[in-house]
Structure 1
Amino acid sequence: MSKVKILEDKGLSASTSNSEHLINDLRILLEHAYRLREQYKQQLVHDESYPQESVGSSTTSQEDTSSFFSASEQLDLTELELLMQFNVRRPLYYNALKLLNEGEVPYRSLRTQFVGCELDIEYLGKVHCLRQAFDYIFDCHEPTDWFIEVGKRNVCRLLHCLGYPLTDFEGNYDRLMEFIISQKNKPNNMMAEELFAKGVKTINFYDVVIDLMLLEAFELLANPPSSVLSVTRHKWLSDNFKRCALDSTVWTILLAKRKLLKYPDGFYAHYYSMVGTVLPALAWGFLGPNENYFHICDRFREIIISFIRESFICYDASTSSTLARISCSNGLPLYFSEHSIKHDKFDKSIFNNYSLDENFMNSTIDSNDSNHDYNNRNSGDDNSSAGTTISESGPTIVYQSDQLPQTISPNTIHRQIGLRYTTVEDLANDLYKLINVYSQDLLNMFIDELKLSENTLPFELESNPVQPILCRRVE
């Protein structure tokens, strides 16, 4: 509550004693509730007689299953055999499907529909391949440093756009990265122990950062507690009070979680410290009354989700999977998938220019591509913000606008859509280049949004570092 008091001294919180009592009561209530829930979940996790599938996360019963894909219990062998036949020319993916036949691909949660896959076996097979590709990338020193720096700059840009300070985040981010690097080559390290206790089956970028951190955070923000919404949507409360109450709620939740940690200086201790500098900004952007802030956060989320979904698309030149760059986020529409390409489930008239260039490095980002779709944000056209819902047998995540653009910039550059699931090296190279494409998309999005508010990025955030060549480090 010390941070709340600081905000009050600056005039950013309600001045009445009733408001102070309300915030304090909410803090105490949330702290007790989260402590009880975490203790209950931990007891069930360690109780071998209790069915693990019933110990779910706070978002969906399908997640945190802490199980292995069992061919004998859950798998339709006919579907698996057909999928293997269709992917004989993709050795990496084919071998992953063979592992599924033996039940050897661990997973924490199934996000089949969310990432655009049709079958669970397709999702798990590709996850196994992506894990190897991420390991390949992060086994290289310079690409790892580049990725860490790009991630840091993008979060700093988001905080800058939302009017939040950067210093606290930068310090906590650097300390978290130092801790992760220090744990990398230690067998049975503290970080692995903590993550395994949370149901993570593999210590990998996809499992930890994408699945556990990013996607669960988006789901939480898409389905906030009704008590939080009742405050942020209250017409008679000031914006300053709403922001103060929301920040206090986030800090209370994180404080309750920290009190339950086994290691006060472990991975989650560092992670919660960093999250405490970012989550209040995201919560205010997604849940607060400022429409411009919501739009920035929504575009940020759309680009992240587009990257994840495109990562699950197998490149196939025979189905013309090389399409024009899309406007809006410069990535794929959120409902786009490998199967929408194969079955022609999209409007071909929009993609009237094709290229068979397989080299991602020829792709550049046209910063003007996204302008035309957002300059009319306040034009009053209700059809321009039609929502689309993407769900995964659980909480529904609503995206404000994912309609295909009707025009394509003449400066748009064509690029390969999808990744080569042929070898670990091919997949890693394509994935590495795709990360660069979407990192540039994020940069252009932030620049566009700041232009609308007649603002600019700080000099050190105006560009991304040059992406180094990906080559496996020789020990």
Structure 2
Amino acid sequence: MNSSSSSTCANESSCWDRTGEADICGLVNIPVTTPENLYLMGMDLFEEALRRWEEALTFRGRQGEDDVSCVSVKTGAGDAIAEQGMEDVISAEFMHRLKSLLQRAYSLQEEFEGVLCMSEPSSHSNSQDKVVEILSREELDDACLRDSMSIASTDSFVSAAELTEHRELRSVLALGHHPFYEEALQMAEDGKISCRVLRTEMLDCLGDLDFLAKLHCVRQASQLLLCERKTRMFLADTGKKILSSIIVKAQKSPKRFEEVFEEMISFLEHTEHWENTEVELATRGVKHLNFYDIVLDFILMDSFEDLENPPISIQNVINNRWLNSSFKETAVASSCWSVMKQKRQHMKVPDGFIAHFYAVCEQISPVLAWGFLGPKSSLHDFCCFFKDQVLFFLKDIFDLDKVRYSSVETLAEDMLHLLHRRSELLLAYLGADSLRHVNGCSSPQVQLMPNGALLEGRVQ
């Protein structure tokens, strides 16, 4: 068959006869004239655009971190044009718009993912064998995988509803491709996996058993990751940088926060403290010592949920239009400190992990509370972006399409890769100015008040 135009390809339900596409087109026929497939093609383009925007943000962040001046870029005879062009592209206004665009794009992505689920189901004429054949293409890249899920033979068409079912069958029928997950799923069915909070819907899992099975795998991978001192230091350093930068954005000094944060990390590095730490956390429902259960679930997710439902006293202050922002910020901080005072009264170990944890929260929680609950500002925007990145990371590691559940080693490797990616985005969003402040190049700032509180109602 000769090379044809896109309309010919669509009319004849066949692919272009090109060498580069023959291998893919030989596997699937893509009827581009159907609404569902046009939607999927659009989603592919949207996700590619999203990746490019993220690259633009991280590219600028790396340049700022290295203190590389854009006007030093040389391109031969076109130096003047290149210098002027680079100055325009990476201007502060451009970066502000890019950050705003990314936030809106993430929201749109969430909405887009539910579109197919609302479509009307059509004929379920494809056999289970055909589905298994689709699922067997695990090693194809993401683009090919999305195409294979859109497969349609000349005799039948897989509807939008069936595409959703194929994603579910990926977990149910193709377990052979995920032996690590398969073993964990059996444990979940036998009731051998427990958790403090089920986050099935939040993480887009197929059901509670699916969540528990993936949770077991993530726990094992988290433990493997933290066996490496280099990884532990990366997590600690990145966490300190991000939280310190948030404090700087609030125009306060991060000095005291960094001191107590480093004290907490030093405390955790001593293995003789782990037994008592395990007992302390067990009284709060945390029975597994790993990165997910302690940092992601117990600290971050619980805090996000508490900030979504702050005490009535804080809501009344925030919603009072007669009070100025400065008074509201002070009132929010005071409320946090009041909560913390009550929490400290219940501490049974005065110098244990919880005590160190509270010391950190005394410095950061008033800033985070004001960032999330306060007026629209750069601080508020970054707090929302920070929360989004944590949620996206969690959804990614609980997605069989995003990470490899073939073994604990492959899952740990993919988790670390995603941690680096999300961290780069966060640091790039913060920009070079905030990072310079964190690295000790800041001008005098307002010191945080010496005592504070964690707006974290679940810690008893």
Q: TM > 0.5 between the two?
A: yes
Equivalence for 2:403: 419
Once the two structures are superposed, residues 128-163 of structure 1 have per-residue CA deviations (whole angstroms, 9 ceiling, x without a partner) of 001111111100112211221111111111211222
Match of 1:136 in 2: 224
C-alpha distance in 2 between matches for 1:437 and 1:292: 22
> Partner residue of 1:442?
426
- Verify: 1:256 aligned to 2:235, yes or no: no
Query: Which residue number corresponds to residue 22 of structure 2?
Result: none
Could you tell me how far apart the structure 1 residues matched to 2:405 and 2:288 are? 20
Q: Which amino acid aligns with 1:152?
A: K
Aligned equivalents of 2:181, 2:272: Cα separation in 1: 27
Unaligned runs of 5+ in 1: 1-79, 316-417, 463-475
Q: Distance in 1 between matches of 2:198 and 2:343?
A: 25
- Considering only CA atoms, is the larger Rg found in Structure 1 or Structure 2? 2
Structure 2 counterparts to residues 19-418 of structure 1, below 5 A: 83=171, 85-182=173-270, 184=271, 189-315=275-401, 418=402
Question: Partners of 1:82 and 1:294 in 2: how far apart?
Answer: 39
Further displaced range: 421-430 or 99-108: 99-108
The offset of 1:89, in angstroms, is 1.6
1:206–1:109: structure 2 CA closer, same or farther, 3 Å change rule?
A: same
Local SS of the residue matching 1:106: coil
Deviations 1:79-99 (A, max 9, x none): x99955431221111110111
- How much has 1:458 moved relative to structure 2? 2.5
2:404 partner letter: R
Q: Deviations over 1:336-390 (max 9, x none)?
A: xxxxxxxxxxxxxxxxxxxxxxxxxxxxxxxxxxxxxxxxxxxxxxxxxxxxxxx
Q: Give the conservation status (yes or no) of the 8 Å contact 1:164–1:281.
A: no
Deviation at 1:212, TM superposition (A): 0.7
**C-alpha distance in 2, partners of 1:304/1:81?**
27
CA RMSD of aligned residues (A): 2.2
TM-score, scaled relative to structure 2: 0.57
CA distance in 2, matches of 1:291, 1:174: 29
Question: Taking structure 1 as reference, are residues 296 and 197 closer, same or farther at Cα in structure 2, changes over 3 Å only?
Answer: same
**Do the aligned partners of residues 101 and 185 (structure 1) sit closer, same or farther apart at CA in structure 2, a change above 3 Å counting?**
farther
Return the structure number with greater helix share. Answer: 2
Q: Distance in 2 between matches of 1:225 and 1:167?
A: 29
Contact 1:157–1:461 (CA under 8 A) maintained in structure 2: no
Cα distance, 1:230 vs. partner? Answer: 1.0
Contact 1:191-1:266 at 8 Å conserved across structures: yes
For the residues of structure 2 that align with 1:251 and 1:185, how far apart are their CA atoms?
Answer: 31
Note if contact 1:200-1:207 (Cα within 8 Å) is conserved in structure 2: yes
Judged with a 3 Å threshold, the aligned counterparts in structure 2 of structure 1 residues 287 and 446 are, in CA distance, closer, same or farther, namely same
Cα contact 1:286–1:297 (8 A) shared by 2: yes
Match 2:416 to one of 389, 412, 432: 432
Q: What secondary structure, in the 3-state scheme, does the structure 1 residue paired with 2:253 have?
A: coil
Tell me how far 1:290 sits from its aligned partner: 4.2
Structure 2 CA distance for aligned equivalents of residues 256 and 176 of structure 1: 21
- Superposed displacement of residue 291, structure 1: 3.2
Q: Is residue 93–residue 421 contact of structure 1 (8 Å, CA) maintained in 2? A: yes
Please tell me whether the aligned partners of residues 171 and 400 of structure 2 are also in contact (alpha carbons under 8 angstroms).
Answer: no
What displacement does 1:196 show? 0.5
Quote the Cα distance in structure 1 between the aligned partners of 2:174 and 2:180: 13
Secondary structure of 1:458 counterpart: helix
Pairwise CA distance, 1:124: 0.7
CA–CA distance in structure 2, aligned partners of residues 214 and 113 of structure 1: 17
**For 2:410 and 2:230, how far apart are their aligned partners in 1?**
19
Q: Residue 219 of structure 1: CA displacement? A: 0.6
Give the number of equivalent residue pairs: 274
The Cα of 1:164 is off from its aligned counterpart by 2.4
Residues 268, 175 of structure 1: CA spacing in aligned structure 2 closer, same or farther, 3 A cutoff? same
* Match of residue 437 from structure 2: 458
> Is the 8 Å Cα contact of residues 254 and 438 (structure 2) preserved in structure 1?
no
Distance 1:158 1:235 in 2: 26
Aligned-partner SS, 2:403: coil
Q: TM-score scaled by structure 1?
A: 0.55
1:226 Cα offset (Å): 2.1
TM-aligned CA deviation for residue 446 of structure 1: 1.1
CA distance in 2, matches of 1:146, 1:171: 17
* Whole-Å separation in 1 of the counterparts to 2:354 and 2:247: 22
Residue identity opposite 1:205 in structure 2: F
Question: Which consecutive residues of structure 2, in runs of 5 or more, have no partner in the other structure?
Answer: 1-167, 442-460
* Cα distance between partner residues in 2 of 1:256 and 1:166: 25
